[in-house]
Amino acid sequence: MRDHCTGNRTTVRSVAPAVDGTLWFVTRVILASGSPRRRELLGSLGLEFEVKPAEIEETSHSEEDPRRLVVRLGIAKAEAVASRLPDALVIAADTVVVLDGEVLGKPRHSRENQDFLARLSGRSHLVYTGHALIYAGRKEVAVVRTVLTFRRLSGAEIDRYVATGEGADKAGGYAIQGVGAVLVAGIDGCYSNVIGLSVPTLIAAAERLGVFLV
């Protein structure tokens, strides 16, 4: 397997059961996402994998439930890549930030980024990530919800954070794993889920497919 992260060739440590009960080695793991954050999280498991972003239209339907949205997009991403690589374990995910039932996507400009943070200031909001894994014609889907609470932020604090540019390409306009950590007062649930991939959920979903990532 040619690993896009290291350039090395290797065989993944994982094994999966065949229909007759024998075992074979999973030789390819594919991350169907171009997100650097998801790439770092998957890499933290010590796996070698390939990155093949799915080319799909990531739009929400009118009044679509956030859980349904992340499941639909996660599955669409996984299926788009798995259709070309039927022998690989394909991992896909989609993450949204939700406040008062409204999905806050990636801010279109700095003013919207400021607006997002002002609305999140001093309040709790939800982060949903839909995980979709496909291997050997089988599919596993899981949704994880994390509750995040922001400190009460001054206008000057919001302006300084937005000026870093860190939140420009992030759902909700912030990154908890970066400078954005200073915005947070508390978290209830999976931390890595907020970044874009719940690692415990990923491991468990892969095991249900008979693949052991750790």
CATH, residue 61: 3.90.950.10
What's the domain range around 120?
Answer: 15-208
Domain assignment present for 6: no
Distance CA 171, CA 105 (A): 5
* 34 occurs within a structural domain: yes
Instruction: Calculate mean pLDDT across residues 131-144.
Output: 96
Which residue did the predictor score with more confidence, 50 or 55?
Answer: 50
Mean pLDDT of 85-109: 94
Residue 109, pLDDT > 90, answer yes
74 domain residue, yes or no: yes
Q: How many C-beta atoms surround the C-beta of residue 186 within 10 A?
A: 10
pLDDT at residue 62 in the model:
67
Query: Distance between the two ends of the chain, CA-based, in angstroms?
Result: 18
Let me know if residue 8 belongs to a domain: no
Q: Percent of the chain beyond pLDDT 70?
A: 86
Whether 142 maps to a domain, the answer reads yes
Residue 19 has pLDDT above 80, yes or no: no
Give how far Cα 153 sits from Cα of 110, 120, 141, 168, 183, Å: 16, 9, 36, 18, 7
Alpha carbon 100 to its chain's center: 22
Residue 201's Cβ-side half-sphere holds a number of Cα atoms within 13 Å equal to 25
Q: For residue 2, is it within any domain?
A: no
The answer to whether residue 7 is domain-embedded is: no
How far apart are the C-alpha atoms of 167 and 159, rounded to whole Å? 12
- Choose the catalytic residue: 3, 94, 115, 159: 94
Question: pLDDT digit string (tens) for 150-206?
Answer: 999 999 999 999 999 999 999 999 999 999 999 999 999 999 999 999 999 999 999
- The domain total for the chain is 1
pLDDT at residue number 25: 54
Residue 94: active-site member: yes
85 compared with 8, residue with greater pLDDT: 85
> What is the pLDDT confidence band of residue 27, given thresholds at 50, 70 and 90?
low
Q: Would residue 9 count as lying in a domain?
A: no
Segment 65-80 shows an average pLDDT of 95
Q: Is the pLDDT of residue 73 over 70?
A: yes
Mean pLDDT of 95-101: 95
Residue 18 reports pLDDT greater than 70: no
